Amino acid sequence: MAEIVIGIAASHAPNLANPSMLRGMDEEQLGRIKAGFAQARALLEEARPDAIVIFSSDHFDRCFFDNLPPFLVAVGDIAEGPINEYLKIPKVKVSVDGGLGRFLVSEGLENGVDFASSVDLPLDHAEVVPLSFLTPNWDIPIVPIVVNAFAPPMPSLKRCAQVGAFIHEAVERWPEQKRVAVLGTGGLSHWVGLPETGRVNAEFDRWFMEALAAGRQSDIIARYKKAEELDAVAGNGGQEVRDWLAAAGAMPPTLRAHVLAYEPLPGCGIGVMAWTKS
Is 59 annotated as catalytic? no
The CA radius of gyration of the chain, in Å to the nearest whole number, is 17
Which amino acid type is present at position 233? V
**Where do the structural domains in the chain lie, given as residue ranges?**
3-19+43-273
Per annotation, catalytic residue among 12, 125, 168, 258: 125
3-class SS of residue 273: strand
Q: Is 43:275 a contact under the CB 8 Å cutoff? A: no
Q: Is 200:25 a contact under the CB 8 Å cutoff? A: no
Q: What is the pLDDT of residue 26?
A: 82
Query: Looking at the domain that runs over 3-19+43-273, which CATH code has it been given?
Result: 3.40.830.10
Q: What is the pLDDT of residue 278?
A: 78
Q: Is 49:140 a contact under the CB 8 Å cutoff? A: yes
* Percent of the chain clearing pLDDT 70 (strictly above): 98
Q: Is 247:182 a contact under the CB 8 Å cutoff? A: yes
Angstrom distances, CA of residue 2 to CA of 24, 30, 51, 177: 45, 36, 10, 5
Q: What is the pLDDT of residue 77?
A: 97
Handedness of CA 160, 164, 165, 171 (dihedral sign): positive
Q: What is the pLDDT of residue 20?
A: 64
Which residues of the chain have a pLDDT value below 70?
20-24
Angstrom distances, CA of residue 235 to CA of 19, 39, 83, 114, 121: 25, 28, 24, 28, 27
Could you tell me which of 219, 68, 82, 55 has the C-alpha nearest to residue 143?
Answer: 55
Average pLDDT along the chain: 94
At 190-245, the pLDDT tens digits run 998 888 888 999 999 999 999 999 999 999 999 999 999 999 999 999 999 999 99
Per annotation, catalytic residue among 12, 59, 168, 190: 190
For the entire predicted model, the pTM comes to 0.95
Is 258 annotated as catalytic? no
DSSP letter (8 states) at residue 90:
P
Which amino acid type is present at position 144? P
Q: What is the pLDDT of residue 21?
A: 67
